[in-house]
C-alpha cells in the first residue's frame, strides 16, 4: 500500500452544467435554446426532457449544502446563455443574472471556489436560427456575453472557463447530428463549428482580459488519446486524423494559434488572415474532461472516414465507454512533455452505472467508487512525475439530464429521484468526500 498525497492547494469538487440540472426552462425571462428545440423534435432517446431535471434552479441552496457537506472546496458550474441574453444578442435579462448572483454568493459563503463555464452547449435558439456555430458572426455575441458575465460576477468569481468540449459541439451537433442542433453537415460543417468556437473563445478571452486583472482564464477540452484499433496503415492514419479533429484543432488553436497540418487544406476556406493570432491566448488554466481513450479504425462513409474500433477492454460503464485510467495518466504526461507542462485541472471525470437502490434507500455504487479511485490514482501518479495539476472535479455532483440519453444515464455521486427530486448521496459521494478531506488516496 502506498499513500498518494496531493499538494496543499489542490482543489477537489464536482462539476455540473446548467442545462443538465437547472430545469425551470421558462422561468424569469429565459429564452429558448437549441436543446429545447431538439427535445421538442423528439430526439431524446428516453422521451424525457430537461424541463425539470434536478430543479437546481429552485434547489440550489440544498445543492450547495451537499457540496459543502462533501468537504469539497471547488465547484464548476455553467451559466445558461439563454437566461442572460434571451435573444442571443441585445437585451440583457436581469433576473437571469440574479440567479447566478445568488448561486455564487451561496458558494462563497460555504467556502467553495466557484469555477464558471460560459458555454456548456445551450446555445440561444435565435443565434442558431442565424447559423449558430456555422456562422462566423457568432464571435461578437459570445464575446459580449462573456463581458456581461464577468462584469457582473468578476468581483467574486476568479476562474472563468470559456467553452466545454467544442469538439463534441462540432462533431455531434453539426456532423453526426445526435446532439442539438441535430445537423449533419459533414466534415466542413464540423471544422467550421470548431474554428468558429476557437475564434469566439479567443475574442471572449481578450474581452475579459481587457477589463479585468487577476482572473484565471481558461477553457475545458475533453482530450482523449486516440489510438488505432490495429497496426494496419489505414487504421493508424485514421487514428491520427481523429486526433487532429478531436484533440488538436482546439488544443493547438488556443495554445499555439495553429491549425493541425492534417486539416490545413480542409480548413483553408474558413480561415481568414489573422485568425491564427486571434485564436491563440495564454490561458492560465486548462480544464480537462477525461472519460476514456479512443480506439479508432478506418471506416469509409463516416466523417473523416474514421469509426470506433474495438477497445478490447474488460471494464465498461453503462455508456459502453471503456474504463481506462492509464489513458488519463498518459494524457497528463504528454501535456507535460509536449506542451510545456501547462497548469491543468481535471474538470470532469466520472461514470454512469445502472445504480441499484437498496431496500434501506442506500446506493452502494462500488463500480463508480472504483472508477473514481483508479482515476484519482492516475492523477496522483502524474503529479509525482511533475505534472502541473491543480485540481480534480468529478462528473457529476447530481444524476442529471444526460443530453440525448435524457434522464436514463446516471453519472451523479448523489442520486436524484426524478419524481420527488429527493437527493441521496451514494457511496461514491462519501468516498470522494474522504479523499478531499484527507487530501490523499491509498493506492494499491
- Choose the stretch contacting ligand FCB; rule: CB under 6 A; options: 67-75, 138-146, 161-169, 190-198: 161-169
Report in angstroms how near the CB of residue 19 gets to ligand FCB at its nearest: 8
Per CB under 6 A, the segment of 111-119, 149-157, 164-172, 207-215 that binds ligand FCB is 164-172
Strand spans (E) along 344-417: 344-348, 389-395, 414-416
Q: What is the spatial distance between Cα 198 and Cα 204, in angstroms, rounded to a whole number?
A: 10
**Part of the chain binding ligand FCB (CB under 6 A), chosen from 162-170, 181-189, 329-337, 375-383:** 162-170
Catalytic choice (22, 128, 229, 348): 348
Q: Which of left, alpha, beta for 29 (phi over 0: left; psi -120 to 50: alpha)? A: left
d(CA 325, CA 392): 14
Q: Which residues contact 400 (CB under 8 A, 6 or more apart)?
A: 16, 17, 20, 21, 53, 54, 407, 411, 412, 416
Q: Is 348 annotated as catalytic? A: yes
219 binds ligand FCB (CB under 6 A): no
Q: How far is the CB of 402 from ligand FCB (least distance, A)?
A: 5
CB 92 within 8 A of CB 31: no
Is position 289 an interface residue for ligand FCB (rule: CB under 6 A)?
yes
d(CA 267, CA 278): 16
Q: Which is nearer to ligand FCB, 305 or 370 (CB)?
A: 370
Kindly state whether residue 22 participates in binding ligand FCB, applying the rule CB under 6 A.
Answer: no
**In the window 387-416, what residues touch ligand FCB (CB under 6 A)?**
395, 402-403, 411
DSSP state of 246: I
Question: Whole-number minimum distance, CB 355 to ligand FCB, in Å?
Answer: 15
Q: Which of 128, 165, 367, 402 is catalytic?
A: 165
Asked whether position 197 contacts ligand FCB by CB under 6 A, the answer is: no
Any bridge partners for residue 440, and if so which? 5
Q: How far is the CB of 164 from ligand FCB (least distance, A)?
A: 5
For position 17 contacting ligand FCB by CB under 6 A, the verdict is yes
Between 164 and 324, CB nearer to ligand FCB: 164
The count of other CB atoms within 10 Å of the CB of residue 272 is 11
Distance CA 136, CA 128 (A): 12
Q: Is 22 a catalytic residue?
A: no
Q: How many residues bind ligand FCB (CB under 6 A)?
A: 12
Sheet bearing 226-228, strands edge to edge: 226-228, 294-298, 306-308
Residues that bind ligand FCB (CB under 6 A): 17, 20, 164-165, 168, 222, 289, 348, 395, 402-403, 411
Which residues are marked as active site?
A: 165, 348
Amino acid at each position: 500500500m502506498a499513500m498518494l498525497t496531493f499538494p496543499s492547494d489542490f482543489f477537489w469538487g464536482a462539476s455540473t452544467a446548467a442545462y443538465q440540472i437547472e430545469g425551470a426552462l421558462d422561468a424569469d425571462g429565459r429564452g429558448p435554446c437549441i436543446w429545447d428545440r431538439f427535445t421538442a423534435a423528439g430526439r431524446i432517446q428516453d422521451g424525457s426532457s430537461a424541463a425539470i431535471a434536478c430543479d437546481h434552479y429552485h434547489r440550489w441552496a440544498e445543492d450547495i449544502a451537499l457540496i459543502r457537506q462533501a468537504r469539497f472546496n471547488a465547484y464548476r458550474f455553467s451559466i445558461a446563455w439563454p437566461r442572460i441574453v434571451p435573444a442571443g444578442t441585445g437585451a440583457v435579462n436581469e433576473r437571469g443574472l440574479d440567479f447566478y448572483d445568488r448561486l455564487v454568493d451561496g458558494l462563497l459563503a460555504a467556502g467553495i471556489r466557484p469555477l464558471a463555464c460560459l458555454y456548456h452547449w445551450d446555445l440561444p435558439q435565435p443565434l442558431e436560427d442565424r447559423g449558430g456555430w456555422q456562422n462566423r458572426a457568432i464571435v461578437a455575441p459570445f464575446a459580449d456575453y462573456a463581458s456581461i458575465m464577468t462584469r457582473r460576477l468578476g468581483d467574486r468569481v476568479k476562474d472563468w472557463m470559456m467553452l466545454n468540449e467544442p469538439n463534441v459541439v462540432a462533431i455531434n451537433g453539426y456532423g453526426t447530428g445526435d446532439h442539438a442542433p441535430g445537423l449533419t453537415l459533414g466534415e466542413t460543417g464540423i471544422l467550421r463549428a470548431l474554428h468558429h468556437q476557437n475564434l469566439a473563445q479567443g475574442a471572449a478571452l481578450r474581452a475579459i482580459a481587457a477589463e479585468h486583472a487577476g482572473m484565471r482564464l481558461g477553457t475545458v477540452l475533453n482530450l482523449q488519446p486516440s489510438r488505432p484499433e490495429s497496426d494496419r496503415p489505414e487504421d493508424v492514419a485514421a487514428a491520427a486524423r481523429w486526433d487532429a479533429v478531436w484533440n488538436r484543432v482546439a488544443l493547438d488553436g488556443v495554445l499555439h494559434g495553429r491549425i493541425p497540418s492534417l486539416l490545413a487544406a480542409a480548413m483553408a476556406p474558413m480561415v481568414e488572415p489573422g485568425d491564427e493570432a486571434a485564436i491563440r491566448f495564454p490561458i492560465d488554466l486548462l480544464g480537462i474532461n477525461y472519460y476514456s481513450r479512443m480506439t479508432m479504425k478506418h471506416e469509409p462513409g463516416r466523417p473523416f472516414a474514421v469509426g470506433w474500433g474495438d477497445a478490447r477492454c474488460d471494464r465498461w460503464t453503462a455508456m459502453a465507454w471503456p474504463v481506462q485510467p492509464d489513458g488519463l495518466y498518459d494524457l497528463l504526461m504528454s501535456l507535460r512533455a509536449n506542451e510545456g507542462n501547462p497548469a491543468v485541472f481535471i474538470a470532469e471525470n466520472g461514470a454512469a452505472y445502472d445504480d441499484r437502490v437498496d431496500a434501506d434507500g442506500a446506493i452502494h455504487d462500488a463500480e463508480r467508487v472504483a472508477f473514481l479511485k483508479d482515476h484519482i490514482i492516475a492523477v496522483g501518479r502524474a503529479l509525482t512525475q511533475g505534472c502541473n495539476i491543480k485540481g480534480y472535479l468529478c462528473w457529476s455532483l447530481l444524476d442529471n439530464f444526460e443530453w440525448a440519453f435524457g434522464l436514463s444515464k446516471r453519472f451523479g455521486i448523489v442520486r436524484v429521484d426524478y419524481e420527488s427530486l429527493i437527493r441521496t448521496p451514494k457511496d461514491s459521494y462519501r468516498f470522494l468526500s474522504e479523499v478531499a478531506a484527507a487530501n490523499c488516496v491509498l493506492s494499491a
